Amino acid sequence: MSISSNSSIEELNAAIQTHNPFLDRGAAVRIQDVWEPEFFDIPTLNAHASDAIFQTIRQLSSSQAKVTSIAITGEQGIGKTHLISRIRHLLLNEDNALFIYASASNFSELNLIQYQFLQILSHSLNQIGSQGISQWQELAVDILIEAYTSVNKLGQVEKIIQSPKDIVANQFTYVIEKNNSFIDSLTSVISKSKPNIDPDIIRAILLTLSENHAAYAIKWLSGNDLSEAKAAELRLPNHSQEEREAQAFDFVLQILSLIDEYRPLLVCFDELEGVTLNNAGATKAQVVAELVKNLFDSLTLSSRSHGVIILTVMLPDTWKLQINTLPGGLPYRVSAATKDPIELKYIDGDSIVELVTVLLNNFYETLNLVPPDPVYPFTESQLKKLGKQKTTIRQVLQWCAEHFKVPDATINVHEAKDDLNLVEAHPVEALFNKELTTVEESLGNLLQDKPTVAAALLLCFFTVIGKTLDQLEVERIDKVEPQGANKGYIDFKILGKEDEQTVKIGVAVTPSSNGIEFANGLKRLIDYQKFDLTRGCLVSSPEINFADIQAEENLTQLLSPPLSGKLVPLEAEHIKPLLAILSIYSARKDYGLSKEEIFDFVDQKKLVVENELILEIVKPASAQFSNDLVNNVEL
């Protein structure tokens, strides 16, 4: 076995002078990292909190109370999302539990909290679980096996009782799609033993095992409507827009109760902080706390229960000022297992050494260098001193970034850059490239996510206030009033000047191919007077298929004079960089980035001013272009 010799001090110093790995902020954990297959962990950091959670999971199986809750508090940058990611990955590798992650940053409409939570619940269950298939499919396989065990007459199942991944990969798709009565039989068998679960929910979950039907089944389980033809094909009923919020919580309870019969379940709420209020004047944290209370009080679990833990993670002041002061026993419902929240600790000296060692090991390995000390150019004593100062991970990374240098440099920096092929990049550059990859991996789901697509467009238009796009000088971005009549269909307004004339562009995002969403967005966009618009722009899927004469007339009216609005196709190529910027902006505090740094990167790379989707939204419509669009939409 050969032992690599240490690299020369000159080689190490050259690398240090040309690139700073701590500016990459690779150790900062974002909410998206919770679902990543790989995870950068520091096992000693806040082990007391993760140990308490897993101990509670084990205790629930033998406890009389099958639902409990835990609150965790920690200062900004202390490792809250890092802890959540560790819990998720430990569940993935060691336990049979399913995991729901609800970042409250995605609750864009606090008055529709239950409907939005249903969508987040469905999104979480669509993530890959411990068996190489989605958590929805893991649940479907559990249901399938129970049906087979209950009634051995279902001969079609007998041949495919293999590993869950094999069941999905092999013949089950074919059986479902060629034999509707097979799904009917399975649903009937399970419904008899679960009278409190809507048979349509069971049917939809089983349909997630079908390659061709899964996306539609998940869409329906998320509370969204299907086209009439697809709903009829899958035998799943559609619900009206007005019914969604009222029915969403019942859907949530049934899905959670069904999961609990087969697996332990951990539901985690994160990122509670925000300045928005609902119609009753409650903050985002208070609205989420009320949702936790309702889940705690309303979940009806069977004798087969494996247990449900509701985990809520927040800043200490959020607990003290917004939640612990609420009446009606609400604080107890949020922290039932421990009474007081579990407090996260500052990173200690040993954990700092561990953190820096891993980051520098990755840095030196990439350059085929071997330092004499794993933490070179630092020393262990330096790093351990930081641990005595109540330091957060973020502060450690900032300190390391500032002190990652050679006191007596003897290497020509410019020559070293040429030798090592390293160039200092914008602090956002590495994160942007990483986020682009993440967006591409989950693009199918993101393109169906109206709040996320709308938020990406909104943020990017904020970066160009005061600039001219095409012929429009962007002056400000506004909310759409009246909110009650809009119901969230028009997402925002762009206000500016075009040839000295005031322009007010209403932008409605309907990314899915759902005809009802498309029609409702159109209905608002053509009412220029009510919503104070001079132009309407519908950003929608390039593939829209619905049968509605009124919608066809509304589309023609929007695109024709005098309205002269636009229908802009949502192309993946153009929205991807905007989604990546949104992701970085949402996690900017974790990365230690300022809004100005992110906007500067957007400006340098011309990610907005040269983006074809952005430019198409603000360009005036041409009559020929509008008529072509009308003719190309399948109605």
**HSE on the CB side for 588, CA within 13 Å?**
14
Q: Name the CA radius of gyration of the chain, rounded.
A: 27
Closest residue by Cα to residue 574 from 435, 453, 493: 453
State the Cα–Cα distance between residues 67 and 297, nearest whole angstrom: 9
| Residue matched to tokens 């390039």 | 542
State the Cα–Cα distance between residues 372 and 5, nearest whole angstrom: 9
Residue 151: its pLDDT value, please?
62
Q: Residue 281 carries which DSSP code?
A: S
State the Cα–Cα distance between residues 503 and 621, nearest whole angstrom: 13
3-state secondary structure of 334: helix
Amino acid type, 178: K
List, in order of start, the domains of the chain with CATH numbers: 9-17+346-424 (no CATH), 63-112+266-343 (3.40.50), 135-246 (no CATH), 436-632 (3.40.91)
State the Cα–Cα distance between residues 281 and 286, nearest whole angstrom: 10
Residue 426: its pLDDT value, please?
76
Residue 65 token pair: 């109370």
- Count other C-beta atoms under 10 Å from residue 444's C-beta: 10
Q: For the range 159-165, what are the long-range contacts, defined as Cβ-Cβ under 8 Å and sequence gap of 24 or more?
A: 163/131, 164/131, 164/132, 164/133, 164/137, 164/138, 165/131, 165/132, 165/133
What CA–CA distances, in Å, run from 314 to 149, 286, 334, 623?
A: 43, 12, 11, 52
Give mean pLDDT in consecutive 10-residue pieces for the chain, a chain of 635 residues.
69 88 65 74 88 90 85 88 89 82 82 90 90 90 82 50 59 65 85 90 92 88 86 85 77 95 93 80 91 93 87 93 88 91 91 91 91 92 87 83 72 40 62 82 77 90 92 91 85 92 92 68 91 93 62 84 91 92 82 84 93 94 48 42
Residue 58: its pLDDT value, please?
86
Q: C-alpha 192: how far from its chain's center?
A: 36
Query: What's the whole-model pTM score?
Result: 0.69
State the Cα–Cα distance between residues 131 and 304, nearest whole angstrom: 22
Element (H, E) at 556: helix 549-559
- Count other C-beta atoms under 10 Å from residue 383's C-beta: 22
**DSSP labels, 611-630:** -HHHHHHHSPPPHHHHHHHH
Q: By the 8 A CB rule, do 127 and 293 touch? A: no
3-state secondary structure of 259: helix
Q: By the 8 A CB rule, do 230 and 64 touch? A: no
What CA–CA distances, in Å, run from 398 to 143, 394, 583, 602?
A: 49, 6, 21, 23
State the Cα–Cα distance between residues 33 and 24, nearest whole angstrom: 15
Q: Residue 382 carries which DSSP code?
A: H
Instruction: Assign residue 611 a region (left: φ > 0; alpha: ψ between -120 and 50; beta: otherwise).
Output: beta
Residue 251 token pair: 């859907």
